[in-house]
Chains A and B, each alone.
Chain A
Amino acid sequence: MKFIHRVAHLIFPRESNNQKAKLLHNSSLTLIVFAFIFYQLGITFLSRFGPNVLGFAANISPDEVVRLTNEKRTQAGLLPLSLNSTLSQAAQAKGADMLNKGYWAHVAPDGTQPWVFFTNFGYKYRYAGENLARDFANPQSAVEAWMNSPSHKENLLSPKYKEIGIGVVEGNLAGVDTTIIVEFFGTKYADTLPVAPIAEAKAVVATPIATPMATSVPTTTRIMVPTANLSIGEPRILVSPFNVTKSVSLGIVGILLFVLVLDGFFVSRRRIARIGGRTFAHLAFLGMILAIALILKAGQII
């Protein structure tokens, strides 16, 4: 009985809670906000110092990324890109470099530009571009995310590129196990007209990474093939920080929406006059938060 009274106190407007569900009191809402912040700090702490259980389990096949990229290009009336193993090695090296140095960016903290990986593997390019993605569960969602971003789409659908290389690396980045997809685009210097005007070449610089023209033959320094590449598609038991955050968020918002509806119904039925915010406005706002929580998906692109 005591438990039922406590629950009723939390979700129904009654005398014990001054005719307003206790969960909707300012003190309760503030408590929920701070509890959620501490929950997030807990996840961050766990990812840095706790057991290695946080991460994004993914099953990314490089061939599938190439296939999907070419599918998009064909749909746009462009020629498909041919897979170049040198470019794939370079992309793999870029991914490994990000894991080894712990960065998530086009340019490494030490200033290493992406096209350094092209030249290090002996790929003498005229045009080069790079798309990066991480934490996507499958290749489809990564390619779709690139297509939704104007700058990445421009790279993906650029007629300047003839070849593609895909690197997929798995490892720990900032305390979270992750899968990074590196998509390198390129056109060999030898495949283009030898006397193309410089001005024209500058005008077709790929985005999001500026790709300077190779005006001279680059020095080739072979770098080590990455060691961070784990076997792809292996089943791993990981708790995704995004998914647990999303689940808890949906739970909190769902409960509050339910209590707001109940509270609003009883207040309206009993014609209770009280000072407070508009229930309908709170319902609309939290409804929007619910919609956003459902829209947002795991995965980052740069």
Chain B
Amino acid sequence: MKGISKHIPHYMVLFGILAAGILAFLLFSYDKGFQMIVATAVALSYVAWGIVHHSIHRDLYLSVVIEYLAVASLGLVIVFSLILRS
């Protein structure tokens, strides 16, 4: 928790990005193309957030970037599959 409270401004930005993503999905439930664009934008923003965050805290390594990319890819693959199957 100590680590989280130290990074609150950073997490506020992240939560803002994620909340905007969920809101866009709700508001544009009829537009699957737009939903896919939103999912891609949120996933890219998440990776960018990770890079900037770790860069500021001077603990940015290749394995960290790959970790964010892997989590973002998993999320993107799941959301794309669900959109295309719905």
Contacts and interface: CB of A to CB of B under 8 A. Distances in A.
Given A36-B81, A242-B85, A277 B73 contact: no
Interface string B23-51: 00110011110000001001000100110
Contact of B50 (A245, A277, A296, A301): A277
Given A245-B81, A292-B79, A29 B74 contact: yes
Contacts of B30: 145, 148-149, 152, 301
Contacts of B53: 278, 281
B8 to A, nearest CB: 11
Interface stretch (A8-16, A62-70, A191-199, A246-254): A246-254
A39 B9 CA distance: 39
Given A145-B29, A285-B46, A33 B86 contact: no
**Interface SS of B by simple majority:** helix
A187 B21 CA distance: 41
Interface in A267-302: 268, 275-278, 280-282, 284-289, 291-293, 295-301
Chain B interface size, as a band, is 35 or more
Nearest to A151: B30
Interface string B66-82: 11101111110111011
A85 interface: no
B82 A249 contact: yes
Contacts of B85: 43, 241-242, 245-246, 298
A286 B86 contact: no
A29 B86 CA distance: 25
Given A26-B67, A245-B81, A292 B11 contact: no
A291 B22 contact: yes
B26 A295 contact: yes
Contacts of B3: 268, 278, 280
Interface string A58-86: 00000000000000000000000000000
Contacts of A145: 29-30
A285 B42 CA distance: 9
B46 A296 contact: no
A296 B46 CA distance: 21
B77 to A, nearest CB: 5
Nearest to B73: A33
A298 B59 CA distance: 42
13 contacts: A43-B85, A148-B29, A149-B30, A245-B85, A246-B85, A278-B50, A285-B18, A285-B71, A286-B75, A288-B21, A292-B22, A296-B25, A296-B86
Interface of A: 26, 29-30, 32-33, 36-37, 40, 43, 135, 145, 148-149, 152, 241-242, 245-246, 249, 252-253, 256, 268, 275-278, 280-282, 284-289, 291-293, 295-301
Given A43-B85, A249-B78, A296-B83, 14 more contacts: A26-B63, A30-B70, A33-B73, A33-B77, A37-B77, A40-B77, A145-B29, A252-B74, A276-B67, A277-B54, A289-B79, A295-B29, A298-B86, A300-B86
Q: Considering the complex of A and B, which 10 residue pairs feature the smallest CB-CB distances, nearest first?
A: A149-B30, A29-B70, A242-B85, A277-B67, A288-B18, A289-B75, A249-B78, A245-B85, A296-B82, A26-B66
